[in-house]
A and B are shown apart, each in its own frame.
Chain A
Amino acid sequence: MKVSLFVPCIMNHLMPESAYSILNIFKKCNIDFSIEKDQLCCGQPGYNMGYCEHSIPFARKFIDLYSKNECDYIVVPSGSCAAMIKHNYPKLFPGENLEWLTAKVVEFNSFMHDNKFYLKLDMKYKGAIFYHKSCHLLNEMNIDREPKEMLGSIKGLRLIEALTHQNTCCGFGGAFSASFGELSTEVGIAKLEFIMENKLKDIVAGDSGCIMHLKSVAMARGYKLNFYYIADFLDLCSN
Chain B
Amino acid sequence: MEINKGEKLKNGSEKLFDKFRERLALNGATALICANRSDIAAHIADIAAREKKDGGRPVFHLSAHLASSSASSIETAIGSIEGAYITKSILDDNGIYIVPASALLIEDGALAVDSALCAHEETLFGDICVLIADGAEIYNNIIDFFAAISAGKSSIKAHNITIIAGPSKTADIEKQIVTGMHGPKKLYCMVINY
The short answer to whether A and B are in direct contact, CB under 8 Å, is: no
Q: Which residues of B contact A (CB under 8 A)?
A: none
